[in-house]
Amino acid sequence: MQLTKKASYGLIAAVELARAPEGETRSAVWIAEQYDLPVAFIEKILHQLRRAGLVASRQGRTGGYMLRLPARRVSVRLVLEALNEPLDIVGCLGNGPSCRLTGVCPTQGAWRTVNGRLRDLLDTISLADLRGGAPT
């Protein structure tokens, strides 16, 4: 599994929302400027997180985005799944292309175990855990 830019930027955006004081919003522009990221891409990511129910938005002068749940209840896995990011380390485990070796592959069981542990680990890391990182 290798994180895409969308996954990486989406986690950054979600962490910045987790860092915002309760009741305050962060704009896509503000988040993008903090990390020199493309504003349109951050906006698109935040819209996707909003559609998934992880983020709320507010219009107007003080508008922007905020988490809908406490940061401790939003796992890395939840964010990645909301962004429709693949979490499988090999394509044959998920909804990816089937492999001609499926069913006879001697390594598939090991990959399934690793995959399950990775998902479990991603469930244990919350935005609250990540927000203590580098200050903005």
pLDDT at residue number 109: 87
pLDDT tens digits along 4-51: 999 999 999 999 999 999 889 999 999 999 999 999 999 999 999 999
pLDDT at residue number 78: 97
Q: CA quadruple 22, 38, 45, 10: dihedral positive or negative?
A: negative
Residues with Cβ < 8 Å from 7, sequence gap 6 or more? Answer: 80, 83, 85
Q: CA quadruple 54, 47, 8, 30: dihedral positive or negative?
A: negative
Dig out the tokens for 57 from the structure: 């938005």
Nearest residue to 16 (alpha-carbon basis) of 93, 62, 79: 79
Q: Show the domains of the chain with their CATH numbers.
A: 5-86 (1.10.10.10)
pTM passes above 0.85 = yes
